[in-house]
Amino acid sequence: MNDVSIFQLIISASLPVQLVMLILLGASIFSWALMYVKWGYIRQSQAEAKNFEGRFWSGINLSDLFAQLSVRQERRFGLEAIFENGFREFARSRKADLDNSEVVRSAHRAMKVSMSREIELLETNLPFLATVGSVSPYVGLFGTVWGIMESFRALAGVQQATLAMVAPGISEALIATAMGLFAAIPAVVAYNKFTSEIDAMIIRYENFLEEFTGILQRQAHSPR
Amino acid sequence: MFEELLKHPKALLISVLAHVVIIAAIVINLSFTDKTDMTKVGEVTKTIKAKVIDQNQLDQKKQQKELETKRKKAVELKEKQTQEAKKLEQKKKIDAQKKRKAEEKRKAELKHKKEAEQKRKKEKARADEKRKAEEKQKADQKRVAEAKHKAEQALVAEQNRQAEEKRKAEEVRIALEKRKLEDAKRKEDELKRKEDERKRAEAEQRRLAAEEQKRKEVELKARLEAEQNQRRLDSLRERYKLAISQKIDRSWIKPSGNDETPPCEVNVVQGPGGIILKVTFGTCNGSTAIYRASIEKAVYRAEPLPKPGDPALFERNLKIRFKPE
């Protein structure tokens, strides 16, 4: 009794409180893992965009760039994917002898589709982080309220109540809140950081798309 | 979400490891800090030895004590009585002695008094003689002093009277001088005041003149300005009217046929912005209905009418003289 360790408290907690703690622990573990994955993906996208923009504006022939990309076996993503889809569509519709403005428009459309796919890839699983960030304090609070309720209920039949009888119960219940906050804080921070970075990436993609459309328009009007 | 995590087992592993580390750190840290010093309760250090006591013994002791105290009290009482008897005897002796001494003292005092009486009578006779002589001398001295005093008083009175007269004369002289001075001052003040008034009046006149001139200048300037403004407005009005009639002229299409086209007076009511509200005809001798209709059409075609150069020149009711070339 005199050595009250957290471990003992958790083990001796009532079943709902233990369940809440388990859920929170799981949420925390998953959110951290997700953060790691997401962080890696965003870093990779940023590096790719920088690299591709460098290549694109280096003055290389667009057909050569396209050939280089299509030779590569691995999956293309980010700006590369947008460029590839747009240019392929442009070449195809030119072969089909469409009107100049129609050619540019179809290429633009293809790039838009590609871009929205990329954005979706960037944004997947972000809602999980947001949910963990906003809900887990409530879950923890629920565990705490339940635990305190239990400990007061146990007090009802006793003639002389002492602080020592309630204290372990409340302490045990408060662990749930602590765990909820522990899960929520990193999730919220990560969510905010990721959304701002993804927004920046989207703007980057959009800018590239418009610029590339301009270039295609110029090419479409030049003689074939 | 889970597929993505399954694709990256490394991430899951890292996350689990991080949690294990954190939880371990928390548990260890808490178990270190939680060890508080418990004070040891329940150690008995001193024992108290108990004894069995018999009630009878206690009672006997008590009776013995009481007897002893009674005996002591009796002895004390005796001693006190003997002491008191001794004291009484001594007191009697002392009283007898005191009485004797007092008798002796009284006798000695009587003797002393008689001697003092004789001495006092002698001294009184001597003093009477002396007093009489002194009184005589004092009366003489008083007489002489009174005579002297009277003479002095007369002298002082005379001197006072003279001083008073002198003072009065001086006062009169001073008052006269003062009045003279005051008169002079008053005269001077009067002069000064008159001078000031004159000056002030002059200044006022000058100021009035300056103001008048200024006012005249301002008026002149205002008149000039007004004239100029008027001229400008007049020219603007001319231009405005000309612009309106020209626009109407330009919009006019001559009706077919050889109808006569005499000059016509057209009254146009316009709203703000040059919108035409109403068109009526004034004197228009020898005109045909077709001609008038063509004029009306021209006016409507000229809508919106040109704006004046100055908003003040806007006229709601325009009287235009229409004269085809």
* Nearest residue to B12 via CA among A144, A211, A26: A26
- Cβ count near B315 (within 10 Å): 14
| Counted domains in chain B | 1
A28 to chain B, closest Cα gap in Å: 8
Indicate whether B44 pLDDT > 80.
Answer: no
Please name the residue of chain A whose CA is at the shortest distance from the CA of residue B7. A37
pLDDT bracket for residue B52 (50, 70, 90): low
pTM of the shown model: 0.46
Is B239 inside any structural domain? Answer: no
pLDDT at B41: 45
A interface with B, Cβ–Cβ below 8 Å: 2-7, 25, 28-30, 32-34, 36-37, 40, 124-125, 128
Q: Which residues of chain A neighbour B16 with C-beta distances below 8 Å?
A: 29, 33
H/E run at residue B278 = strand B275-281
Q: Which residues of chain B neighbour A27 with C-beta distances below 8 Å?
A: none
Please name the residue of chain B whose CA is at the shortest distance from the CA of residue A7. B27
Q: Which amino acid, one-letter code, is at B115?
A: E
Q: Which amino acid, one-letter code, is at B152?
A: E
The answer to whether B19 contacts A6, with C-beta atoms less than 8 Å apart, is no
**For chain A, percent of residues with pLDDT exceeding 90:** 49
Output the CA angle A127-A132-A137, nearest 5 degrees. Answer: 145
Residue A16: asked if its preceding bond is cis (omega within 30°), the reply is no
Interface test with A, best of B2, B10, B12 (most A CBs within 10 A): B12
Q: Which residues of chain A neighbour B9 with C-beta distances below 8 Å?
A: none
Q: Which residues of chain A neighbour B27 with C-beta distances below 8 Å?
A: 5-7
Is B291 inside any structural domain? Answer: no
Is B42 inside any structural domain? Answer: yes
The answer to whether B5 contacts A2, with C-beta atoms less than 8 Å apart, is no
Indicate whether B222 pLDDT > 90.
Answer: yes
H/E run at residue B82 = helix B55-251
Indicate whether A75 pLDDT > 90.
Answer: no
Rg (CA), chain B: 75
Is B23 inside any structural domain? Answer: yes
Handedness of CA A164, A168, A173, A178 (dihedral sign): positive
Is B160 inside any structural domain? Answer: no
The answer to whether B12 contacts A33, with C-beta atoms less than 8 Å apart, is yes
Q: Which residues of chain A neighbour B30 with C-beta distances below 8 Å?
A: 5-6
Indicate whether A1 pLDDT > 50.
Answer: no
pLDDT at B162: 94
Q: Which residues of chain A neighbour B28 with C-beta distances below 8 Å?
A: none
- In whole angstroms, give the CA distance from residue B30 to residue A175: 13
Mean pLDDT of A120-131: 91
Is B299 inside any structural domain? Answer: no
Indicate whether B40 pLDDT > 50.
Answer: no
Is B59 inside any structural domain? Answer: yes
The answer to whether B15 contacts A33, with C-beta atoms less than 8 Å apart, is yes
pLDDT digits (tens, 9 = 90+) for B265-299: 888 888 887 888 888 888 877 777 888 888 888 88
The answer to whether B11 contacts A37, with C-beta atoms less than 8 Å apart, is yes
pLDDT at B111: 87
Please name the residue of chain A whose CA is at the shortest distance from the CA of residue B35. A3
Indicate whether A193 pLDDT > 90.
Answer: yes
Helix A15-56 × helix A126-155 angle, to 10°: 160
The answer to whether B35 contacts A5, with C-beta atoms less than 8 Å apart, is no
pLDDT at B160: 94
Q: B44 lies in which domain range?
A: 2-92
Q: Which residues of chain A neighbour B37 with C-beta distances below 8 Å?
A: none
The answer to whether B4 contacts A7, with C-beta atoms less than 8 Å apart, is no
B11 to chain A, closest Cα gap in Å: 5
Is B110 inside any structural domain? Answer: no
A5 to chain B, closest Cα gap in Å: 6
Rg (CA), chain A: 28
- How many contacts does A have with B, using Cβ atoms within 8 A? 50
pLDDT at B283: 81
The four Cα atoms B290, B293, B298, B302 give a dihedral, to 10 degrees, of 180
Q: Which residues of chain A neighbour B17 with C-beta distances below 8 Å?
A: none
pLDDT digits (tens, 9 = 90+) for B70-109: 888 888 888 888 888 888 888 888 888 888 888 888 888 8
The answer to whether B30 contacts A5, with C-beta atoms less than 8 Å apart, is yes
pLDDT digits (tens, 9 = 90+) for A51-72: 999 988 888 888 888 888 888 7
pLDDT at B37: 47
The beta-carbon neighbor of A7 closest among B1, B8, B27 is B27
Interface test with A, best of B8, B32, B33, B36 (most A CBs within 10 A): B8
Q: Which residues of chain B neighbour A32 with C-beta distances below 8 Å?
A: 14-15, 18-19
Please name the residue of chain B whose CA is at the shortest distance from the CA of residue A36. B11
